Chains A and B, each alone.
Chain A
């Protein structure tokens, strides 16, 4: 039906008939199928040029009418536009509108007329706010859909890549293990051949201290003291004051050895010592 833009309204070559159209009214019965179809434009079509021009003069506005009454702009389309190509056709219309607007605005500007709506001028629009809201919603949902699709695509790709990386890693690990076992075997054989001679220097060349051995990561942690066991979390200040002081005393983080030993100051410090010896905590313990 008529809904599509792309369709060519009339297929010319298909059939040609002149519409039997009376001046006042035509009935639907008029196009009975008895007539033959032509490939060419019908020759008997009326074209009264003089009559048309006469009529045009009748209705036309005076020649010297101010342009501001008409606001018409002519635009040359250039070469022929292909009707069936939606994009090129719409582009032609768009350029016509844009070019026309530019010319018109220049004209208006030269007449010193204000023609643009000020930013703070609000008035009724052709489309209602609810309708514009709907349009906005549709645009947003479309955008969201596109974004989601892209994200999915990215995730799929990264998954694929991660799989490859993981496989590579596994292979590497297996290879390393094999090598180490191999080297241990070799060393054992050597020792057997050498009659278990004493000496540390001929141990297997397993470099435990190397990168591949078991070890803790020696990554430098910025802002964390070497003795800190919490990994810098304690410093974040999320803990209460009590917790911190207890941690500093009893050790949550850091080496405990030196902290638990008395020093000269702590021996003389009796702050935490109840002289009477009947503190509640003790009593509770006794009970």
Chain B
């Protein structure tokens, strides 16, 4: 796959270099799309070159003339580790179907070098963020969420998974319609939640005017922090058909939501500065790995047996120390037979 020109603000040197290169090879020509010309990239050089084109076309975004209009070019790589179990794989596929701007890739071997492999793959697929589902011991699902070249990355433990295939969840919505994102207000209280919120927004919001997107809003995502976990829900918005034209006149009251799925719950473990690595910025003080919980349970069970053995030994010792005196009446009735 060809490497595309980047326009990330956090790597200005590289961008400038690539922009310079492109200037040498060919004059920057506005790319044609269905709706007119594509918005200009943010590089200074190209922006100056294409200033005339920007001025000529009407801009819907209300921004200053000097700064190019914001354009969301998020691409999310979604992949998983090898030996993932079906349930978690279905969850991943559900998420792919919810994100029209997602790219799937083949499974990645979960070993020491998976971080660098993953970063390479993300760069090759020219994605700006990544969701990596890591399944361990055929039991535990970890979700890595990271922004591509410069980080940060967040590692979650995923609990309470329900996939879309479950028949209990009766809703349905258009594939590729842009979701509304609702966050609970406690996302704004602490810095690490703020970061998580920003990442969730960027990853889960379908870019505006995405070519696979549809121009309607018929589902809503819920991200809510309850008990220090991020809970995810996806609801279909169903408005009665005859009420559609009069949403402002009370049609909102008739609106109902039907759950579509999937459901999951994210427990943040750590936040790192880089992409899939780097300095640790946050550690969840309450986090207990599922391995420890299982070990504790096991040890409790093991303790039961050890106690029994101990009691047996103690009893034996006690009996040996305090031997019974010989019974003086033991011979009493012996002579009668």
Task: Give the B-binding residues of A (Cβ under 8 A).
Answer: 1-5, 7-12, 14-19, 21, 23-25, 28, 31, 33, 37, 41-43, 45-49, 51-53, 55-56, 58-62, 64-66, 68-77, 81, 83, 89, 92-94, 96-102, 104-106, 108-109, 114-119, 121, 123-127, 131-132, 134-135, 138-139
Q: Judging by beta carbons under 8 Å apart, are A4 and B288 in contact?
A: no
Interface string of B50-93 (1 = CB under 8 A from A): 00000000000111000100101000000000000001000000
**16 A–B contacts from the bound complex (CB under 8 Å):** A2-B141, A2-B159, A11-B288, A19-B270, A25-B111, A33-B295, A33-B299, A56-B194, A61-B72, A70-B181, A74-B184, A109-B247, A115-B217, A117-B216, A124-B175, A126-B98
Q: With a CB–CB cut-off of 8 A, which chain B residues contact A51?
A: 273, 279, 281
- Report the bound CA distance from A131 to B165 in whole Å: 8
| Among candidates B176, B233, B284, B292, residue contacting A97 with C-beta atoms closer than 8 Å | B233
| Docked CA distance A24–B117 (Å) | 11
CB distance from B287 to the nearest CB of A (A): 6
Does B105 sit within 8 A of A, measured CB to CB? Answer: no
- Annotate B109-132 by CB proximity to A: 1 below 8 A, 0 otherwise: 001111110000000000000000
On chain A, the residues within 8 Å of B218 by CB distance are: 116-117
Interface membership of B170, Cβ < 8 A: yes
Return the CB mask of B284-321 against A: 1 if under 8 Å, else 0: 11111101110110010000000000000000000000
**Closest residue of A by beta carbon distance from B206:** A71
Partner of A47, one of B215, B255, B282: B282
Q: How far is the CA of A77 from the CA of B205 in the complex (A)?
A: 22
Residue numbers of B with Cβ under 8 A of A are 10, 61-63, 67, 70, 72, 87, 97-98, 111-116, 136-137, 139, 141, 147, 150-152, 155, 157-162, 164-165, 167, 170, 172-188, 191-192, 194-195, 198-199, 201-202, 205, 207-208, 214-218, 220, 222, 224, 226-227, 229, 231, 233, 235, 237, 239, 241, 244, 247-248, 252, 255, 257, 260, 263, 265, 267, 269-274, 276-289, 291-293, 295-296, 299
Interface of A is mostly: loop
- The verdict on A45 contacting B284 (CB below 8 Å), with A72-B181, A96-B184, A97-B182 known, is yes
Evaluate contact between A18 and B291: CB separation under 8 angstroms.
no
Contact B180 A102 (CB under 8 A): no
With A23-B272, A97-B233, A126-B164 known to touch, is A66 a contact of B175 (CB < 8 Å)? no
* Across-interface contacts of B141 in A (CB, < 8 A): 2
In the complex, the chain A residue whose C-beta lies closest to that of B298 is A33
A96 partner residues in chain B, CB cutoff 8 A: 182, 184, 222, 224
Q: How far is the CA of A277 from the CA of B257 in the complex (A)?
A: 91
Whether the Cβ atoms of A41 and B286 lie closer than 8 Å is yes
Q: How far is the CA of A37 from the CA of B286 in the complex (A)?
A: 12
